[in-house]
Amino acid sequence: MALATTRWLLSVEALVSVAVVEVVSSVMLYHVIRGKLTWDVAVIGLVGYLAYLLILIHFI
């Protein structure tokens, strides 16, 4: 109930964080459904999280 009644202020960092997690999760889900996780999935995840880190550092 608290999540629904709390006022949320969304920053660029929060939006980018959610977008990166959704994209990486979708890619990983696709590979899990296919039954094959490869090194490129790990690279996609690392690139996404590094991009988020760079955006976070830029706005501090």
pLDDT digits (tens, 9 = 90+) for 10-48: 777 777 777 877 887 888 788 878 887 778 877 877 887
The reported pLDDT for the residue numbered 59 is 65
- Quick one: pLDDT band at residue 4, thresholds 50, 70, 90? low
pTM of the model: 0.55
Residue 54 Cα distances to 17, 28, 34, 50, 57, angstroms: 12, 22, 31, 6, 5
3-class secondary-structure state, position 37: coil
* Residue bearing tokens 């629904």: 4
CA distance between the termini of the chain: 32
Structure-token pair, residue 25: 């999760």
Report whether pLDDT(60) > 60. no
The reported pLDDT for the residue numbered 1 is 60
* Residue bearing tokens 């090194």: 39
